[in-house]
Structure 1
Amino acid sequence: MSHLIVLAFDGADEAAKVREAIRQQQKQGLVALDDAAIVSRDAEGRVHVRNEVSRATMIGTGVGALLGLLLGNFFFPLTSMALGALGGAGVGALTGLGVDGGFVKEVKDSLKPDSSALFLIVRDADESAALALLRNYHGRVLQTTLDSETEENLRRALGDVDEGR
């Protein structure tokens, strides 16, 4: 089961720095992501969104291309693979593994100037390695689908601990 984790940071490029650090953990096999997106608001208030291609879209595109190749050759031999890939991308988007666009907009609208947010859909992770990495950054947990103990560990790692909680 994949988990949604949304983290907010002061600094327009802080989420990108955290994403790059997580990318290094991916290369080491310590974390597996289904999707990631970075939303930032620069000091002038301009919003920037960088959404990575989701695993669901890639799978859907591949399946659609294969089906287009196999079935479409009978009807549209020259364009079957391209049409299949386009249809597959739509199927991938419907599988629900990607970050919801409406929620991204909600977070984007709530960002103050010179801040950023990182959206992650985590398929698998070495929790101790991920928490050790995140201790190098200061941020806030906006939303997760993690169990309460893991979420609290994440909050502590980011310095997002409120004594009143």
Structure 2
Amino acid sequence: MSDLVVIVYPSEAKAEEVRQRLLKLQKEYLITINDAVIAIKTEAGTVKLNQLVNTTAMGAASGSFWGLLIGVLFLNPIVGVALGAASGALGGALTDFGINDAFMKELAASIQPGNAALFVLIKNMTADKVLKEIRDAGGVVLKTSLDETKEQILRDALAKAAVTETPPPSAKSA
């Protein structure tokens, strides 16, 4: 079973930085990620999804290969590639991989314009080491499927980072 964690950051760049840290941790076998998507709320109020996997491009590539193969069999490889790419791209565009797009757009509609929400679907992780790597990035937990204890640990760690980022009030001289 996978766990969903959604953290809001003040910018798309900050959310992308954390996503890249998580992907690096995945290469070190500290976390297994099924999907990691950044949802950005534009100033106009629309939500744009920055997917980790582009299913349309993957579909077009695999469709081109199969179209070429079938085209060679029927002595018309050019038409086979074109039809294969078109059908593969269409199939890829209609495929929803990982976290449901409608759910992400609905949840991201509640964040402030300009902010970005990082949606991570986690299969398993070494929680203490992963948290140590992302805690300094801050962020606000929007939603999780973690149990209450783990969710509170995550909220506390990210809140500490937010407190350390805030400069202390300047002392007035008498």
TM-score normalized by the length of structure 2: 0.64
- Greater share of residues in helix: 2
In the alignment, structure 1 segments of 5+ residues that lack a partner are: 55-82, 161-165
Aligned identity (percent) is 32
CA distance in 2, matches of 1:91, 1:143: 31
> Does structure 2 retain, via aligned residues, the 8 Å contact 1:5–1:121?
yes
CA distance in 1, matches of 2:138, 2:6: 14
Alpha-carbon offset, residue 123 of structure 1: 0.5
> Does structure 1 retain, via aligned residues, the 8 Å contact 2:12–2:38?
no
2:136 aligned with 1:136: yes
Distance 1:137 1:90, change over 3 A: same
In structure 1, the partner of 2:119 is 119
Q: Deviations over 1:61-115 (max 9, x none)?
A: xxxxxxxxxxxxxxxxxxxxxx9xx9999999xxx97111122111332232321
Q: What SS is found at the alignment partner of 2:116?
A: strand
2:33 aligned with 1:33: yes
In structure 1, the partner of 2:64 is none
In structure 1, the partner of 2:2 is 2
CA distance in 2, matches of 1:99, 1:17: 20
> Does structure 1 retain, via aligned residues, the 8 Å contact 2:36–2:51?
yes
- Matched residue type, 1:23: L
Alpha-carbon offset, residue 41 of structure 1: 3.4
- Matched residue type, 1:14: K
In the alignment, structure 2 segments of 5+ residues that lack a partner are: 54-82, 161-174
> Does structure 2 retain, via aligned residues, the 8 Å contact 1:134–1:157?
no
CA distance in 1, matches of 2:91, 2:2: 19
CA distance in 1, matches of 2:88, 2:124: 25
